[in-house]
Amino acid sequence: MNPTTDPLPAGAALHPWNRAFAWQVGSGAGRILDAAQRRQFDERGYLVLEGLFTAAEVEQLLAEIDPIEQQVEEILRATDGGRLLIMESGAITFCTHLVQRSPLLRQFARHPKLADLCADLIGDDVNLYWDQAVYKKPEKPRRFPWHQDNGYTFVEPQQYLTCWLALTDATVENGCPWVAPGLHRLGTLRHTYVDPLGFECFEEPGEKVAAPVRAGGAVVFSSLTPHLTGPNTTAAVRKAYILQYAPAGALRLEGDPDASAPPRTVACDDPERQFAVLRGGVRV
């Protein structure tokens, strides 16, 4: 597959703000990834890294996140219809900006291994862009739609890094990530909202690959890599903590992509949740 020349999947189109995009990967500092891993990320848009964190580190994360997620689930249960945006009681919850609520998670976002990944794949000056826990429940199994992370909020530069950390074993049966490799090189695709699932860039890609990973491992992919998570058909909750990193100076674009007026830009530098992780290649 040559991702630079292959056509878009059926029903897909480039985002109107995606003009003159050129894919590039970080300088490859070699802190944590070898040349083959970096080449796979460059060509396929994702990596599976097993055993990135210890069982003890995962237990610490669960002890911090589980009580917060329980509060979100209780709020959903008290909501009419049990739904809020794309969250639904018994189906899926999103707990965002956890670094604002937990000193431990704020410190974890700067973990040396995560900083090393940023150095290898982004560059020397990196900020945390977003963090959230996603718990997929077994009561109402459903898949997530095919989407790019940059399709939810358009960020410039378009390519940033997503670290999808498994807090429990993520399997095909309980909703592990699936990726559409190679399409990241096209830049951001146009997304449409599919109720109640969220934004979608196409119904099916030409190629899709499951990315199961054990607890403590991570699926690392570009913000431009189309992906989804499958339904949870088991009896247990599938838990993940997602951390996203962008180059320092990244901007969020706001406005109507189809309008002639240029988009507004907002700096991604909120000190409470978009703080520095690397400066000059040195962990902050």
Q: What domains are there in the chain, each with its CATH number? A: 35-283 (2.60.120.620)
- What percent of the chain is modeled with pLDDT above 90? 83
- What percent of the chain is modeled with pLDDT above 70? 98
Decide if pLDDT at 222 tops 80. Answer: yes
More confident residue, 164 or 79: 164
Please, how many CA atoms are within 13 Å of residue 234, restricted to the half-sphere of its CB? Answer: 15
pLDDT digits (tens, 9 = 90+) for 104-120: 999 999 999 999 999 99
Decide if pLDDT at 231 tops 60. Answer: yes
CA angle 228, 150, 259 (to 5 degrees): 125
Task: Burial-class residue 262 by CB neighbours within 10 Å (0-12, 13-18, 19+).
Answer: exposed
Check residue 143 and give its pLDDT. Answer: 76
pTM score of the predicted model: 0.94
Q: How far is it, in rounded angstroms, from Cα 73 to Cα 95?
A: 10
Check residue 1 and give its pLDDT. Answer: 34
Q: Of 101, 65, 108, whose CA–CA distance to 237 is shortest?
A: 65
Check residue 86 and give its pLDDT. Answer: 77
Distances (CA, A) of 146 to 11, 139, 230, 273, 274: 12, 22, 10, 27, 26
The mean pLDDT of the chain is 93
Instruction: Sheet with 264-267: list strands edge to edge.
Output: 155-156, 251-254, 264-267
Please, how many CA atoms are within 13 Å of residue 3, restricted to the half-sphere of its CB? Answer: 21
Q: How would residue 6 be classed by pLDDT, with cut points 50, 70 and 90? A: low
pLDDT digits (tens, 9 = 90+) for 139-158: 887 778 999 999 999 999 99
